[in-house]
Structure 1
């Protein structure tokens, strides 16, 4: 990680919500989720917040580095139908060693739809993959089971 990653850095990212990012598309095998309204899913909102933070971090990473999300504490207070554009604003508020903390907020052009805190841990991808290797080996030869619909 470069020493340019400091508190106070900000980044904004906008994304137009397609129907595929609504609640019924989270787990299409779930009849409970299929019955819910087609509005921007909380899980996709959180993912958009993570994406914005990853973009903020990108110029401050060394070769072979990236980040993984390690904590999310956000609200989702307003529904957004497909077609509206959600803008996420992220601000780095703390850097402690390889951990970066962000204040995030999302707005759909009508309302603030969510806000909170997100932490990411900066990792060397080769080291991360070495740590993951034993888990990958556990499932390498096992067929994936499908969850019944």
Structure 2
């Protein structure tokens, strides 16, 4: 590679990285909600899925009385998927990245329905029924889907 080609390639790469960092920073931040816990489940606002530029794909519900958070995915206007963020392999707390949940301990992966997509986990995630009550979602913690 000659010097001119090297400098040109380097400049293009730097420009691309600068643009990419701008795009990444403009991504919507993760939304956390504490919700309102009652004896049957937890309520969160439907508005938690709204952003200035549209709609979030998911909201993470954290509450002091829950051992693990719950990830709630918005599938469409009336369907939601609520998943306990506890890996079925060894019980580590999962991390959310788009439409998948990943275990930082051993790399198990799950889709937004809680189904295993990458081992070593063999069991799907615990999921809860979600119903819409006015402008709130009710996550029924008594039942499994």
Do they superpose with TM above 0.5? no
Structure number, greater radius of gyration: 2
| Structure with the higher helix share, 1 or 2 | 1
- TM-score of the pair, normalised by structure 1: 0.26
- Structure possessing the higher relative contact order (Cα contacts under 8 Å, 6 or more residues apart): 1
What is the TM-score when the length of structure 2 is the normalising length? 0.27
